[in-house]
Structure 1
Amino acid sequence: MSRKLCFETICCENRALKNLAYHEARLNRTRHELWGYSDYWNLSELLIIPDHVDHTLHKCRVSYSQEIEVVKWEPYAYRNIRKIRRVYHDAIDYRYKYEDREELNTLFAQRNDADEILIIKNGLVTDSLYGNVAFYNGITWVTPNSPLLPGTQRAFLLESGVIKEERISEDDLANFNKIRLFNAMIGWENAVELGIDCID
Structure 2
Amino acid sequence: MNLPCIETICLRNRQLQHLAYHEQRLHRTRAALGWGTDHWPLAQLLKVPEALGPGTYKCRLTYAQEVENVEWESYAPRPIRSLRLVYDDALKYPYKYLDRAALRHLFDQRGTCDDVLIVQKGCLTDTSYCNLALFDGTRWCTPATPLLPGTQRQYLLDQGVLSEDTIRVEDLRQFQQIRLFNAMLPWEEGPTLSTEQVVG
TM over 0.5: yes
Contact 2:131 2:146 in 1 (8 A): yes
Residues 36-81 of structure 1 deviation map (CA, whole Å, 9 limit, x = unaligned): 5111111001110001111100000000001110100001011111
Distance 1:129 1:54 in 2: 29
After the TM superposition, list the runs of 4 or more consecutive aligned residues in structure 1 that deviate by more than 6 angstroms: none
Which amino acid in structure 1 is aligned with residue 187 of structure 2?
Answer: W
Contact 2:35 2:65 in 1 (8 A): no
State the SS of the aligned residue for 1:70: strand
Distance 1:152 1:185 in 2: 10
Distance 1:113 1:159 in 2: 36
The alpha-carbon deviation at position 22 of structure 1 amounts to 0.3
Where does residue 79 of structure 1 map in the other structure? 78
Unaligned ranges ≥5, structure 1: none
Which amino acid in structure 2 is aligned with residue 161 of structure 1?
Answer: G
Where does residue 33 of structure 2 map in the other structure? 34
State the SS of the aligned residue for 1:99: coil
Where does residue 125 of structure 2 map in the other structure? 126
State the SS of the aligned residue for 1:110: coil
Residues 57-110 of structure 1 deviation map (CA, whole Å, 9 limit, x = unaligned): 000000000111010000101111111100010011000000111110000000
Distance 1:49 1:101 in 2: 26
State the SS of the aligned residue for 2:27: helix
Matches within 5 A, 1:106-125: 106-125=105-124
Which amino acid in structure 1 is aligned with residue 75 of structure 2?
Answer: Y
Distance 1:10 1:87 in 2: 28
Matches within 5 A, 1:39-50: 39-50=38-49
Does 1:166 pair with 2:165?
A: yes
The alpha-carbon deviation at position 28 of structure 1 amounts to 0.6
Distance 1:162 1:84 in 2: 23
Distance 2:17 2:90 in 1: 32
Per the normalisation by structure 2, the TM-score is 0.98
Where does residue 101 of structure 1 map in the other structure? 100
Where does residue 20 of structure 2 map in the other structure? 21
Which amino acid in structure 2 is aligned with residue 141 of structure 1?
Answer: W
Contact 2:2 2:64 in 1 (8 A): no
Does 1:10 pair with 2:9?
A: yes
The alpha-carbon deviation at position 13 of structure 1 amounts to 0.4
Where does residue 56 of structure 2 map in the other structure? 57
Distance 1:53 1:32 in 2: 32
Instruction: Report % sequence identity.
Output: 48
Contact 1:12 1:18 in 2 (8 A): yes
Unaligned ranges ≥5, structure 2: none
The alpha-carbon deviation at position 174 of structure 1 amounts to 1.3
Where does residue 175 of structure 1 map in the other structure? 174
Where does residue 155 of structure 1 map in the other structure? 154
Where does residue 140 of structure 1 map in the other structure? 139
Task: Count matched residues.
Answer: 199
Where does residue 69 of structure 2 map in the other structure? 70
